[in-house]
Structure 1
Amino acid sequence: MFVKDCMTTSPITIPKTTPILDALEKMKRLKIRQLPVTEKGRLIGLVTERELLTVTPSPATTLSIFEMNYLLSKMVVGEVMVKDPITVSPDTTMEEAALIMRENKVNCLLVMQGDELVGILTQTDIFDAFIEFFGLKKAGTRLVLQTQDRVGALAELTDIIRAMNINIRAFVVHRKDNDVVHIIVRVNTIDPEPLVKELEARGIPVLSVD
């Protein structure tokens, strides 16, 4: 799965001259937390809800409401935006995008095709992809199996499932140590007992059934 499969295309943008209060109102109305900043169609920055809130006065301020509103009305997003936001291409893999977000501690990535802003990838998109990977929205049963990390282990497992005429919805391998792996597999059956018995009989422990 690639970024282009999960990103929001044609993201909403604002100019750098947008007042901070207007940007916050737009985020609230559209239920989004970040807005790319463009100038003449060219990406020049990114502003997030968190950054905007950090520049607004706290409740403990001694400023009057009139003074606060006056100061905020004079501030524009160009003064607080991130001027070099992290970008990726549409062909970046989702796991690489997740790693980039984690290592840089950012909540979104802007997606560029050459010099053109073509999308935005947010934490919510990462979560949605994770849910899709595990097949949580599809009917079936989730099994957690344990096996040795050896050549042919996955082929043996899939052969058993195929022989019972059961389809695999999702498949994830979690390495526990150098010799043991846990395999999370979602299958399209609501009666997993025959499969569980066959797996156990073939020496593949079933750790959980959900």
Structure 2
Amino acid sequence: MNRGIYEVFLDTPLREVIKTMGENSISSVVVTDREGTYWGIITSLDVLKYYTKDIDNLKAEDVMVSKIITVNPLTPLEKAAAIMVENRIHHLYVVSELREDKIVGVISSKDIIKVLHEELEK
């Protein structure tokens, strides 16, 4: 799990979201309110859908996907991988055991490939 998640607020301009993603070489951000409760995610694919639109008038809440599939920190990696395959997603968000509306990390398909590679090298 990567604890280095990037968050933007619901009212963050899309132009700023794109800047954050580009400057940090990331393919997704979590959209939260000011209290830290997550509302959705924006992936690079979501940004591409709006590439030809007037992005100056769009905010994070306008382009985010609110259906987020989550797991808890104790979910086995094998199960996380199966959930990703079943749902055809590349990111799985990890929520706090104490507060299910708070994202504490993300597992990407790249993370799982890295672990598989390390296991094969043993």
TM-score, normalization by structure 2: 0.90
Give 1:84 shift. 2.1
Identical pairs, percent: 28
- Mapped to 1, the partners of 2:76 and 2:107 lie a distance apart of 12
In the TM superposition, residue 10 of structure 1 has moved relative to its aligned partner by: 4.4
Instruction: Map residues 115-126 of structure 1 onto 2, 5 A cutoff.
Output: 115=100, 116-126=102-112
**What do residues 71-115 of structure 1 show as CA deviations (whole Å, max 9, x unaligned)?**
211101101111121100111111111111111011101100132
Q: 2:28 aligns with which of 34, 47, 59?
A: 34
- How is 1:7-26 mapped onto 2 (pairs within 5 angstroms)? 7-26=1-20
Equivalence map 1:45-84=2 (5 Å): 45-57=40-52, 71-84=54-67
Alignment of 1:135-174 (within 5 A): 135=121, 169=122
* Structure of greater relative contact order (alpha carbons < 8 Å, 6+ residues apart): 2
Structure-2 separation of matches of 1:20 and 1:52: 8
Q: What are the ranges of 5 or more consecutive residues in structure 1 without an aligned counterpart?
A: 1-6, 58-67, 136-168, 170-210
Q: Which runs of 4+ in 1 moved over 2 A?
A: none
The reply to whether residue 91 of structure 1 matches residue 59 of structure 2 is no
2:7 partner SS: coil
TM-score by length of 1: 0.54
Task: Give aligned pairs, total.
Answer: 118
**Greater share of strand:** 1
Counterpart in 2 of 1:65?
none
Q: Secondary structure at the match of 1:14?
A: strand
Which residue does the alignment assign to 2:83? 100
Shift of 1:51: 0.6
Distance (Å, rounded) in 1 between the aligned partners of 2:120 and 2:73: 22
Once residues 91 and 108 of structure 1 are traced to their aligned partners in structure 2, the CA distance between those partners, rounded to angstroms, is: 17
What is the alpha-carbon distance in structure 1 between the residues aligned to residue 76 and residue 31 of structure 2? 25
| DSSP 3-state at the match of 1:52 | helix
**Paired amino acid for 2:65:** V
- Secondary structure at the aligned position of 1:28 is classed as helix
